[in-house]
């Protein structure tokens, strides 16, 4: 099995950010779990995302989160937490993922 094959998925709750065009999770590989956005608020956030036309600043102020499934290759086997070292090793040389502060905003 290569380092890029997925043996199992691990479920984590992480923060959602806005990149200017889309709501994203700052991970290199993940699958969003439907119906898990929080906090659900009238006219801003529903269980599957952000309402169209919602004020982005108000949404971001709520620090929205969502559950995601991440490949086990991004998780430390002993702690069960996302591993900065594993992400950097897998994506070595790719500036977006190979730096000291990777995963800090989750």
pLDDT computed for residue 82 by the predictor: 85
Q: How many residues does the chain have?
A: 106
Domain positions in the chain are 9-71
**84 CB contacts (<8 Å, ≥6 apart)?**
102, 103
Confidence (pLDDT) at 62: 97
Residue 1's pLDDT is 41
- What's the alpha-carbon Rg for the chain, to the nearest Å? 15
> Sign (positive/negative) of CA torsion 100, 60, 30, 19?
negative
User: For the segment 16-70, what is each residue's pLDDT rounded down to a tens digit?
Assistant: 999 888 999 988 888 999 999 999 999 999 999 999 999 999 999 999 999 999 8
Confidence at 95, pLDDT banded by 50, 70, 90: confident
């Amino acid at each position: 099995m290569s380092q890029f094959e997925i043996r199992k998925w691990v479920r984590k709750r992480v923060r959602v950010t806005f990149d200017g065009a889309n709501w994203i999770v700052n991970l290199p590989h993940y699958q969003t779990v439907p119906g898990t956005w929080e906090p659900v608020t009238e006219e801003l956030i529903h269980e599957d995302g952000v309402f169209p036309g919602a004020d982005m600043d108000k949404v971001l102020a709520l620090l929205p989160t969502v559950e995601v499934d991440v490949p086990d290759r991004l998780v430390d086997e002993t702690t069960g937490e996302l591993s900065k070292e594993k992400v950097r090793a897998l994506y070595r040389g790719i500036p977006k993922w190979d730096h000291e502060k990777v995963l800090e905003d989750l």
